[in-house]
Structure 1
Amino acid sequence: MVSKRKKDAPEYKAEAVELVVSSGRPVAEIARDLGLNEGTLGSWVNAAKRSGSIKDKPLTIDERVHMKELEEENRKLRMGRDFLKKAAAWFASQNQ
């Protein structure tokens, strides 16, 4: 078990964050391995991202294609939802 003093050290936090970023493993798994609370490690990672000390990996071509497909599907679903809202409002106004 790592002592409390070591866990508070900025070097320890930076190493733990780097392990999350470089390994690609879930935060929960790494936190368990290091004996840390999942939320604590997650907040360290989020703070590092906000401060700009780590960057997300750029998307691959396959990921970009998938993202475009999901955006298109999302657009169609929103259009369908909006149409159904308008239709429901129209039918509600006809029953009065």
Structure 2
Amino acid sequence: MLGPVSPEEAVPGGRQVHEAVLGGEYKRDAVALVASSGRTVTEIARELGVSSESLRGWVKKPNGSGQAAAETPVAAGSGLDAAEREELKRLRKLAADQAKTIEILKKATAFFAKESDR
């Protein structure tokens, strides 16, 4: 299970452990903790002894199947019934669609702000 990085794994000089030292299972568990705990990425990163930017990158980074972590299917044994799994799937798709829309709007805003300065 997840926990703070042991002193043996820490980088000399007190810096936080480099993410390459951590295995894929550790990263998946950390992402799952972010998704299920309701706490902020910063709080969880501090608790685990990794940088918040690393953890944020793990959350955003597609996993091995090419799906973003937020789009990862919920396992049947996760304690959710079929209706809850379908609702979660629908909400994750909606969140992904909204994230894409936000990115497009950010780019459009930057474009038009740049154009209006001319």
Normalised by the size of structure 1, how large is the TM-score? 0.49
- Bigger radius of gyration: 1
